[in-house]
Amino acid sequence: MTTSALRVSELTKDFGGLRAVDGISFHVDEGEFVGLIGPNGCGKTTTFNCISGMLELTSGRIEVLGQDATGMRPDQIQSLGLTRTFQHTRLWRQMTVIENLLVPPRHQFAPNFLLSLLRPGSRNAEKKRLSDAYSLLDMLEVSHMAHNLASELSGGQSKLVDIGRTLMGSPRVLLLDEPVAGVAGPLAERIFQNLRALTSERNIGMLVIEHNMNFILRTGVDRVIVVDSGHVLMEGTPDEVRQNESVIEAYLGE
Ligand SMILES: Nc1ncnc2c1ncn2[C@@H]1O[C@H](COP(=O)(O)OP(=O)(O)O)[C@@H](O)[C@H]1O
Ligand SMILES: [Mg+2]
């Protein structure tokens, strides 16, 4: 049996008397592009917060690349190779876009980060980082903003830069929370095509929250996990989801 990039088993999260996540189970394989979809308030972001260690689980188990990550701190989970974005982006507003990509993510300041800059070969490494950063901005179609301050970006552009920043850390498991919310339709589709390609090229386990069912079904995801009231309503390929009666009832208004 191959190891999954991410495996969530019977995850439950209560906020006082409210059960936000109710025994959710699913997995994402390496190189697999999976959509997590469901109505507002059904527990998608809470699931991400539990997986990334920002919230304590009420019960359940999280495995990242075959390692038990249940109860770990966010920085420990990040060092296993898992990175996530937030529904509301967190950029350094007073830095330029390219600088935002070059700053190591908060949890990745290795103790020897400054020393590493003095090592022979570090100049080449820095050049490589810079060219990676520009290629990511190109892919996300925001390279024309590279030297603008992050505070000058529109909401949609901030989302794209945030995705770029996340990819700079070479994640092996990547969780994106509504990455194209506020991004115009045709660009959103191109971004998803690029994410699809990147998932395969870099063998990332990619899990993307999206609230628009019709959109996710035509973006080329491998699988869709449909969540309703904190549990998995169904999961399957886009075709299987399209034909599922309970999903049709809940979403497509039949
Ligand atoms: N920190 C929190 N404290 C209390 N309730 C919360 C908290 N975070 C989320 N909730 C509640 O949990 C439920 C699921 O929220 P959320 O996971 O954000 O949904 P989604 O991302 O699917 O829209 C909602 O009813 C929400 O109000
Ligand atoms: Mg949410």
Domain count, the chain: 1
What's the domain range around 222?
6-251
Question: Which ligand is located closest to the Cα atom of residue 229?
Answer: 1
pLDDT in the model for residue 117: 63
How many residues can be counted in the chain?
A: 254
Q: How far is the CA of 136 from the centre of ligand 2 (A)?
A: 25
Which residues are paired to 82 by β-bridges? 173
Q: How far is the CA of 48 from the centre of ligand 1 (A)?
A: 11
- List the CATH number of the domain containing 157: 3.40.50.300
pLDDT band for position 61 (50/70/90)? very high
Q: Which atom of ligand 1 is nearest to the CA of 16?
A: 4
Q: Cβ distance 207 to 32 under 8 Å? A: no
Instruction: Over range 226-236, report the average pLDDT.
Output: 93
Choice among 21-35, 38-52, 62-76, 100-114 with the minimum mean pLDDT: 100-114
Q: What are phi and psi of 169, to 5 degrees?
A: -80, 5
pLDDT band for position 254 (50/70/90)? very low
Query: Is residue 42 lining ligand 1, measured as CB closer than 6 Å?
Result: yes
Q: Is 56 helix (H, G, I), strand (E, B) or coil?
A: coil
> Going by C-beta distance under 8 Å and a sequence separation of 6 or more, which residues neighbour residue 206?
28, 32, 33, 34, 174, 176, 195, 199
Please indicate, yes or no, if residue 21 is contained in any of the structural domains.
yes
Angstrom distance (rounded) from CA 58 to CA 42: 17
Give the residue, 110 or 138, on which the prediction is more confident.
Answer: 138
Angstrom distance (rounded) from CA 182 to CA 173: 24
Please indicate, yes or no, if residue 138 is contained in any of the structural domains.
yes
Angstrom distance (rounded) from CA 216 to CA 239: 11
Angstrom distance (rounded) from CA 176 to CA 160: 11
**Ligand 1 atom 18: the closest Cα is on which residue?**
45
pLDDT band for position 113 (50/70/90)? low
Please indicate, yes or no, if residue 1 is contained in any of the structural domains.
no
Residue 22 has pLDDT above 80, yes or no: yes
* Beta pairing, strands 59-64 & 67-68: antiparallel
Please indicate, yes or no, if residue 211 is contained in any of the structural domains.
yes
